[in-house]
Amino acid sequence: MNPNDVETFKALLVRRRAELLAEGDVELVPENAGDDTARKVDEDAAPLAEMNQVIASKRNLERTRQLEAISEALDLIAEEPDDYGQCEDCSEPIKRRRLELMPWVTLCIRCAEQHERAAASGRRRHITDYK
Ligand SMILES: [Zn+2]
């Protein structure tokens, strides 16, 4: 990848990181909020609140993972810019379109699918695996 392209992706990474940092974590309501208004909540609302908590913590986890991946990609660009955009596994160039969507990826689509299959084979398949 030529240095101008690396700069382009670096800019994308820096912008994405700034967006993620600006969003911040979704605030999780402590389970024992300890105030009476929380206890008076309609019983029907409890499962919904619980589901919202699950969604919020999943989102926070994904955000944390993405921030880590972005900072690793930026480290790579700083230290070994020639390696950026190459698949970690097979050393083939990662498709530009893939990098434009996810500039932090370190695997080409083929290797990423292999990793996913390997990870999925160890656990029960879930509907979200197919999205
Ligand atoms: Zn690969």
| pLDDT reported for residue 34 | 55
Q: 106 Cβ partners below 8 Å, 6+ apart?
A: 69, 72, 73, 87, 88
Domains in the chain, ordered, with CATH? 3-130 (1.20.120.910)
What is the CA(99)–ligand 1 centre distance, in A?
13
What is the CA(93)–ligand 1 centre distance, in A?
8
pLDDT digits (tens, 9 = 90+) for 70-97: 999 999 999 999 999 999 999 999 999 9
What is the CA(48)–ligand 1 centre distance, in A?
41
Bridge partners of 93? 86
Reported as a pLDDT band with limits 50, 70 and 90, residue 41 is low
Claim: this prediction has a pTM higher than 0.85 = no
What is the CA(116)–ligand 1 centre distance, in A?
13
Q: Nearest-5° angle of CA 64, CA 66, CA 67?
A: 65
What is the CA(111)–ligand 1 centre distance, in A?
4
